[in-house]
Amino acid sequence: MYCNCISILSRRTTMKRTLWLLLLLLIGLCIADHATKQQKPSRKQKVDHSECSKQTSAATLMNSSLPSGNEEQIPTVLSFANVSQMSSDFGFNLYRKIANKHDNNIFFSPFSVSLGLSSLLLGTRGNTYDQLLHGLNYNPFKDQENPYLLPELLKTIKEKIAKNEELVLNIGSLSFLHETFSMKDEFVNLTKKYFDMEYELIDFHSSKAKNEINAYVEKLTKGLISNFYDFIDPQTKLLLLDYIFFKGKWQYPFNPALTEVDSFFIDKYNSVTVPMMYKTDKVASVFDKDLSCTVFKLPYRGNAHMLIIKPEKEGDFGILEDHLTKELINSWQAKMQSRKTDIFFPKFKLDQKYKLKSSLNELGIKELFTGKANLTDLTEERNLMLTEITQQAMIEVDERGTEAAAVAGAEIIAYSLPLTIRVNRPFLFMIFEEAYQSLLFLGRVMDPTKL
């Protein structure tokens, strides 16, 4: 079982907090009910095959160390910009699959799903590897002479983002490993090297396993998620967990004293009342005539921003959602102009949970979920497959950043008539890290009064 959970790390302890996000990504390998035929390796790898055949038992794994040696030079043919664009487009592709199944609010982290599945690229071969690489939108990396180019780029992006102290974005990885399960040394060392993976032993056959993992998740989320698992298959062998904690602080906060109750029009027949935040600020925005939508961004401290897309017409999001690509986002941002703007933006809180297996199947990632899964670079054991991928996401957006002294009007330019953007009907939003243009989170708000 594979789970992903994004949540606000703690409840409000001060009026200065604006946005807290935590992402947990759990990937589990379970024994299949039927035998699996061995596939012939077809992936190019620069590896020592004698090393690949070595197994890391659960007993010795806890004392294993990171691989040593100099890092390979990363070529410029496929760069950080390529990875960010590919990862973002994977996110938009996955969003469309989720949106086809849900008419309500949506919120998830494509960044985490991509990172978690990318770690499995190090353990797969043959058609399983090809489908995973293609589904993640990383197909150009297939024929690279350096088979570790993609994980090297992902590691660098993750580390550079995490070092941004003002952004406050913490990223980590941990695995729960059944005490009798053996993995190949190569996989263990590579996941430690490129994904900073840590390993913990657990007896999945024990009735206490579910409670132990739920207790760990509860501790990691500061009590917000207390019973994530109702059931854990006792045949589970490996459970990989990735987490991202993001504390967003508006660069120019909203003033809580100006928040008022206002109407939010779900559709032409239904409306709800919401706390509507307000401020006048210098805002970068653009109107897309072809897609009939207003696009603007609200910056966070530390080189990140929320991009908000508000359709000007009521009704289906389909046309807009079908056109979402990183190239379109880049074109919007290139055309944006900053000017004095009256912003009306609803406070909202979302709590979403999805099973992603069917959506990933639709993106071509199929064999990994069957008894044919080729995991020969992960373990010598057979009859293993991925059973499910579940993501839980939580976000809360309110008025302020952690710096209460920030003044919204300090950067306003002198236009006589301000533009007005009133977000009082369904909208899309995205959170980007700006240094690498990484799409961290993606969502849709249909009704801000519902989780």
Please state which of the ranges 29-43, 175-189, 389-403 shows the lowest mean pLDDT. 29-43
pLDDT tens for each residue of 232-251: 888 888 877 666 667 778 88
Confidence of residue 227 (pLDDT cuts 50, 70, 90): confident
Which residues are within 8 A (CB) of 221 and not within 5 positions of it... i.e. 6 or more apart? Answer: 5, 7, 9, 22, 24
Rg of the chain on CA atoms, in Å: 23
Looking at residue 234, what is its pLDDT? 86
Looking at residue 198, what is its pLDDT? 82
Secondary-structure percent of the chain, ordered helix, strand, coil, rounded to 5? 30, 30, 40
Res. 427: pLDDT tops 90: yes
More confident residue, 173 or 93: 93
pLDDT tens for each residue of 331-349: 999 999 999 999 999 999 8
Please state which of the ranges 143-147, 189-193, 294-298, 323-327 shows the lowest mean pLDDT. 143-147
Question: What would the mean pLDDT of 27-36 be, rounded to a whole number?
Answer: 46
- Nearest Cα to 83, choosing from 166, 168, 160, 189? 160
- Phi/psi of residue 207, each to 5°? -70, -15
Question: What would the mean pLDDT of 117-133 be, rounded to a whole number?
Answer: 94
Q: Where in the chain is the domain with CATH 2.30.39.10?
A: 256-346+415-445
Q: Where in the chain is the domain with CATH 3.30.497.10?
A: 80-248+350-396
Please state which of the ranges 4-13, 24-33, 328-337 shows the lowest mean pLDDT. 4-13
- Reduce the DSSP state of residue 345 to 3 states and report it: strand
pLDDT tens for each residue of 144-170: 888 899 999 999 998 888 777 777 676
Confidence of residue 325 (pLDDT cuts 50, 70, 90): very high
| Cα 385 to Cα 286: distance, rounded to the nearest angstrom | 46
- Cα 114 vs. chain centroid, distance in angstroms? 7
Looking at residue 406, what is its pLDDT? 20
| Cα 107 to Cα 393: distance, rounded to the nearest angstrom | 6
pTM of the model: 0.82
256-346+415-445 belongs to CATH 3.40.50.1980: no
**For residues 351-383, b (16+ Cβ closer than 10 Å) or e, as one string?**
bbbbebbebbbbbebbbbbebbbbbbbbbebee
Please state which of the ranges 34-38, 41-45, 143-147 shows the lowest mean pLDDT. 34-38
Paired sense of beta strands 293-300 and 304-311, if any = antiparallel
Question: What would the mean pLDDT of 406-423 be, rounded to a whole number?
Answer: 48
Confidence of residue 259 (pLDDT cuts 50, 70, 90): very high
Looking at residue 136, what is its pLDDT? 97
pLDDT tens for each residue of 172-188: 677 888 888 888 999 99
Question: What would the mean pLDDT of 200-218 be, rounded to a whole number?
Answer: 86
- Contact criterion met (CB below 8 Å) for 285 and 419: yes
Which CATH code for domain 80-248+350-396?
3.30.497.10
Res. 19: pLDDT tops 50: no
Looking at residue 27, what is its pLDDT? 54
Res. 52: pLDDT tops 80: no
Mean confidence (pLDDT) of the chain: 78
In DSSP terms, which residues pair with 239 in a beta bridge? 28, 176
Res. 405: pLDDT tops 60: no
Confidence of residue 37 (pLDDT cuts 50, 70, 90): very low
Q: Which amino acid is at 59?
A: A
More confident residue, 375 or 66: 375
